[in-house]
């Protein structure tokens, strides 16, 4: 549980860094402002899929004892997922919330690419579903660890 909590804290920190740095550095470097709310919107999109990938990585590390097995599986899982997803979704044109790249770019919500701004809504139901998947993976990992004898 400590490893999971530490990993989630690290994930949150890595996701929040751009949300803090971009609005702060845009005015002095680019002479333009970027709204903090927009940056936090992207943080929530990154965190949703990031938590799922983190949960999968923790699950692999619990299931496989090899030194590199879990790391290799954690790196391959997103690629394998995208192959399966593109097959099911007809090349990625359907179920945008299930496509991590499109989802994190804002395509699943009310995002306008021309202005790079959210104008309509955030996909909160999809974010909640992804966080539920991540929580399920983390709870399953915890239950497996409790059953293992050391």
* Residue ranges per structural domain of the chain: 2-147
Q: Specify the higher pLDDT residue, 51 or 124.
A: 51
* Phi, psi (rounded to 5 degrees) for 117: -135, 145
Q: Looking at residue 23, what is its pLDDT? A: 92
Q: Looking at residue 116, what is its pLDDT? A: 64
How many angstroms separate the CA atoms of 112 and 53, rounded? 26
Q: Looking at residue 102, what is its pLDDT? A: 82
CB 23 within 8 A of CB 36: yes
Look at residue 131 and tell me whether its pLDDT is greater than 90.
yes
Of 75-79, 87-91, 110-114, give the range with the top mean pLDDT: 75-79
Counting Cα atoms < 13 Å in the Cβ hemisphere of 16 gives 6
* pTM confidence score: 0.85
How many angstroms separate the CA atoms of 61 and 38, rounded? 34
Beta strands in the chain (DSSP E): 111-112, 117-118
pLDDT, mean of residues 85-90 = 84
């Amino acid at each position: 549980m400590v490893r999971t909590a530490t990993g989630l804290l690290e994930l949150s920190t890595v996701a929040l860094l751009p949300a803090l740095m971009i609005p702060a550095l845009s005015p002095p470097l680019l002479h333009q402002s970027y709204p903090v709310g927009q940056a936090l919107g992207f943080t929530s999109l990154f965190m949703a899929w990031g938590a799922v990938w983190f949960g999968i990585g923790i699950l692999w590390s619990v299931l496989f004892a090899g030194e590199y097995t879990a790391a290799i599986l954690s790196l391959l899982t997103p690629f394998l997922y995208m192959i399966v997803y593109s097959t099911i979704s007809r090349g990625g044109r359907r179920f945008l919330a299930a496509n991590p790249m499109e989802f994190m770019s804002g395509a699943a919500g009310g995002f306008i690419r021309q202005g790079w701004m959210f104008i309509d809504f955030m996909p909160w139901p999809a974010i909640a579903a992804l966080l539920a998947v991540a929580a399920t993976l983390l709870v399953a990992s915890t239950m497996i660890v409790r059953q293992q004898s050391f």
